[in-house]
Amino acid sequence: MIPMHKVFILLGPTASGKSKLSMKLSKDFPFEIINADLYSIYKGLDIGTAKPSNIDLKSTKHYLIDKIEPDKNYNVSKFCSDVSLSIRAIISNNKYPLIVGGTMMYVYQLLNGLTLDYNLIKSDIDLIKYILGKYSYGEIYDAFKSDISIPVEKINCNDRYRLEKLLERSIANHNRSNKYTGLYNQKDIKINVIFIDIKDRNLLRESISKRTEEMLRRGLVKEVQQLITKYNLTEDSQSMKAIGYKETIDYLNHNIDLNGLADTISLSTQQLAKRQITWKNKFKINFTVDYPQIDYDDLSKFVINSLN
């Protein structure tokens, strides 16, 4: 009989207390935490991502935090690979993985598999660099648009990052035999998904507004300035597309004032939270907790029963 390894996933919209709840769970149960927030994977993106404190990182082992430099790109394929390795490492420590985050598309594909996986070899990378050097992004967009088999209608012609990803997928050596199939298809893993639900959107908006003010008070603008200088980042860098960072670049470019910065970050965060909540229907939820009055006793009973 194949031994079953229990994997827990804690999802919810931004500013709903996922990190705080995960730390409480890790103190009461033998969990190690895997980060599932795309931008917390980057080194130096601390204030704007509400990254766990150094005290929390020391008290509970975390995976996929501060993993890559902010001038590097990251994708869902790499995420699935990194999480799979982290899960096996945690199991070997005789602990249980607790995956925590709000990058819903990444978690969805982690669970259900990648629709298409690809590997870039050196000749692919060289060809991509040649194309990017020879043609404008507008020309590349028009070339994709002329091929009806390539869906570009949801991509802005000025979105350099997504156009580059589309170029990678089009050129890369597709290796379907190694395609990631998802945690649900792994016979030795049992998934338990916990979702933090929000019924009172006004409370969430207040939480987001307070968090935005706190980030600015703690020095978000200075953090972005230092990252841009140290890594030669621009608004086109993947790491700088994070909410809080892209708006701060607008502020540094004198496109908005400080009051406008706070308002824009709050609005962008509210829109993100709304999208995250709509993802709930796509997941197989095993247990739901309500924000902000989380019934921790009921949640603990669910975890205990799931571990047995």
Q: Which of 127, 145, 174 is the last residue in one of the domains?
A: 174
Query: Residue 51 is part of a domain; what is its CATH number?
Result: 3.40.50.300
Give the least confident one: 63-72, 73-82, 95-104: 73-82
User: Could you tell me the residue range of the domain that residue 126 belongs to?
Assistant: 118-174
Q: How many domains does the chain have?
A: 2
**224, two tokens:** 């972005």
Give the predicted TM-score (pTM) of the model.
0.82
Averaged pLDDT for residues 286-303: 95
* β-bridge partners, 288: 195
Q: Which of 132, 148, 174 is the last residue in one of the domains?
A: 174
Q: Which of 174, 194, 217 is the last residue in one of the domains?
A: 174
**266, two tokens:** 């709050």
At 3 the pLDDT is 72
Dump pLDDT digits (tens) for 146-175.
Answer: 776 676 777 887 788 788 878 877 776 555
Residue carrying structure tokens 């819903």: 104
At 177 the pLDDT is 45
Closest of 308, 291, 268, 307 to residue 20, by C-alpha: 291
133 and 259, same structural domain? no
233 and 155, same structural domain? no
299 and 189, same structural domain? yes
Q: How far apart are CA 117 and CA 285, in angstroms?
A: 26
Contact (Cβ atoms closer than 8 angstroms) between residue 87 and residue 7: yes
Is the predicted pLDDT of residue 49 greater than 90, yes or no? yes
Averaged pLDDT for residues 277-283: 93
Is the predicted pLDDT of residue 117 greater than 70, yes or no? no
Q: List, in sequence order, the alpha helices (H) in 232-257.
A: 245-252
99 and 59, same structural domain? yes
On average, the pLDDT of the chain sits at 90
Dump pLDDT digits (tens) for 10-45.
Answer: 999 999 999 999 999 999 999 999 999 999 999 999
Overall size of the chain counted in residues? 308
129 and 197, same structural domain? no
257 and 189, same structural domain? yes
